[in-house]
Amino acid sequence: MSDLIEVAELSKTFRVRRKGSGPFRRVREEVRAVDGISFTVPHGEMVGYIGPNGAGKSTTIKMLTGILTPSGGRLRVAGLDPARERTRLVRRIGVVFGQRTTLWWDLPLRDSYGLVRRMYRIPEARYRANLERCVELLDLDGLLDVPVRQLSLGQRMRGDITAALLHDPDVLYLDEPTIGLDVISKARVRGFLRELNAEQGTTVLLTTHDLTDIEQLCKRVMVIDHGGLMYDGALAGLHEAGESERTLVVDLERELPPIEGVHGARTVRTEGPRQWLAFPASASAAPIVSQIADAYPLMDLSLREPDIEDVIARMYAGE
């Protein structure tokens, strides 16, 4: 079976007019929002799509959903050309935007879902089964008769996710699905997505600034910046790409000057008898520990693994 999403040399250029100085007060400029990216996503994969603000994430998603027409390259979702075959495509995809709702503000959830059912012509039995499953797993019981505007952000988000899934899409695009949610709501949404993917095989493309979403949901991550793909691979491999570091936290018997002369590590912080030594994530901690133990009065130690946020910051800094 071919891949569900196929993207080759995809680009999108916006022509914008900006205020200039001098005699030509308005200058025309081209913004290459997406600049020749290629990737494929097989059926059933959960992929994180991350990058800093303005990197080109939303523009990519808009092209994948057929809202924007690409300036160049090739694009297929479920074998369809999104911009040309948008009406057929909407039956195959679900979209959730964390920042705005696709539900009707003044209607109770139940009525919104009824409208979705009619719009997509979802057979009654399938609609009921899907709604029941979402209500149970997303804990929406008791909320179906509440108007959307009265729901909390977390409840509304769960309501939006349900609306996007009633027609059994092959692929779900999630744009910041946990933004602004409290810890419990985040955990519930993540748990639900994991289950959806495992049980229904729904392919998920997830855009987020919350890297815990990625860590908990996606084995594969794509990093975009300035319209180009900087990284596409296993989450674990990001650490190497960002040359990440582990940190050894060392408690000495007493306060001492920064530890020196340890081969392969450097002291990055001291606070009383506690010192922090950084070393490459690919290296073993054992020789570093034994060097310190030989030369210093060691009381205790612990090891901190690199933080993915750190890793990505390093990738951006290293451009």
Ligand X SMILES: Nc1ncnc2c1ncn2[C@@H]1O[C@H](COP(=O)(O)OP(=O)(O)OP(=O)(O)O)[C@@H](O)[C@H]1O
Could you list the residues that contact ligand X (CB under 6 A)? 14, 16, 31, 33, 51, 53-59
Q: Look at residues 250, 303, 245, 294 and name the one whose alpha carbon lies nearest to residue 272.
A: 250
**Shortest gap between Cβ of 85 and ligand X (angstroms)?**
22
Cα-Cα-Cα-Cα dihedral sign, residues 312, 314, 317, 319 = negative
Instruction: Kindly state the smallest distance separating residue 295's Cβ from ligand X, in Å.
Output: 47
- Secondary structure E strands in the chain: 5-19, 26-41, 46-50, 72-77, 93-97, 171-175, 203-207, 220-225, 228-234, 245-252, 266-271, 274-280, 298-304
113 versus 231: smaller Cβ distance to ligand X: 231
Q: Least Å distance between CB 132 and ligand X? A: 34
State the first-to-last Cα distance of the chain, in angstroms, to the nearest integer: 37
Nearer to ligand X, 14 or 105 (CB): 14
Distance from chain centroid for Cα 15: 28
Contact between residue 11 and residue 34 where contact means Cβ atoms under 8 Å apart:
yes
Instruction: Identify the DSSP state of 99.
Output: T
Nearer to ligand X, 90 or 179 (CB): 179
Q: Which is nearer to ligand X, 106 or 309 (CB)?
A: 309
Closest approach, Cβ 288 to ligand X, in A, equals 38
3-state helix, strand, coil in the chain (%, to 5): 35, 30, 35
Q: Cβ of residue 184: shortest distance to ligand X, in angstroms?
A: 25
Beta strands in 189-244 (DSSP E): 203-207, 220-225, 228-234
CB closer to ligand X, 192 vs 231:
231
Q: Contact at 8 Å (CB) between 295 and 254?
A: no
Closer by beta carbon to ligand X, 51 or else 108 = 51
Give residue for tokens 């750190």. Answer: 310
Q: Rounded to the nearest whole angstrom, what is the least distance from the CB of residue 204 to ligand X in the complex?
A: 17
One-character DSSP codes across 244-297: -EEEEEEEESS--SPP---TT-EEEEEETTEEEEEEETTS-SHHHHHHHHHHS-
Dist CA 116 CA 119 (whole Å): 5
DSSP annotation of 217: H
Residue 31 vs 90, nearer CB to ligand X: 31
Output the smallest distance, CB 301 to ligand X, in A.
39
Residue number with CB closer to ligand X (51 or 306): 51
Q: How far is the CB of 205 from ligand X (least distance, A)?
A: 13
